């Protein structure tokens, strides 16, 4: 059985020359509360990953995004568990300001250096090096 896709948005300040990426701090479930993630959610039947990402980010952050290319990662996504796999795409806010809701209590713009000193959700961690490289810092 193929894992169900979960999408996340690596929202940057500028798709052409990014300097920061947006992280969202989880409030639930309990095992993820307090950890940072790239916001997003599950892809519904009939949705593309990009469509799901626009919908989920609008619901979670109350912003509209433009979705760009996927962040380089495993072709089958990062395994969250036996049933779910995470795919993260680059994105940029085109309208609105992130607003905390029931799944996130805080948002923060991270520089490449900030990413390594932050406690990220396990599924997002394997993609942090790619995000850091995209923001201009390796190692």
Q: Give tens-digit pLDDT for 54-96.
A: 999 999 999 999 999 999 988 999 999 999 999 999 999 999 9
Looking at residue 138, its pLDDT comes to 45
Coil, strand or helix: which one is 139? coil
User: In total, how many domains does the chain have?
Assistant: 1
Q: Do residues 121 and 41 lie in contact, with contact meaning Cβ atoms separated by under 8 Å?
A: no
pLDDT of 139 above 70? no
How far is residue 70's CA from residue 10's CA, in Å, rounded to a whole number?
9
Q: How confident is the model over 24-53, as pLDDT tens digits?
A: 999 999 999 999 999 999 999 999 999 999
95-131 burial: b if 16+ Cβ within 10 Å, else e: eeebeeeebbeebeebebeebeeeebbebbeebbbeb
Question: Does any domain span residue 58?
Answer: yes
- Locus of tokens 């395994």: 79
Domain holding 74: CATH number? Answer: 3.90.79.10
Give me the domain span that covers residue 75.
4-134
Residue 139 lies in a domain: no
72 found inside a domain? yes
């Amino acid at each position: 059985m193929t894992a169900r896709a979960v999408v996340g948005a690596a929202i940057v300040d500028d798709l052409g020359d990014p300097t920061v990426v947006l992280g969202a701090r989880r409030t639930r479930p309990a095992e993820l509360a307090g950890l940072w993630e790239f916001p997003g959610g599950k892809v519904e039947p009939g949705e593309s990953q990009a469509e799901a990402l626009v919908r989920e980010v609008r619901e979670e952050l109350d912003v509209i995004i433009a979705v760009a290319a996927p962040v380089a990662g495993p072709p089958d996504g990062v395994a969250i568990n036996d049933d779910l796999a995470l795919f993260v795409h680059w994105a940029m806010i085109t309208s609105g300001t992130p607003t905390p809701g029931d799944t996130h209590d805080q948002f923060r713009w991270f520089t490449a250096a900030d990413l390594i000193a932050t406690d990220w959700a396990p599924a997002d961690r394997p993609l942090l090096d790619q995000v850091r490289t995209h923001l201009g810092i390796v190692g």
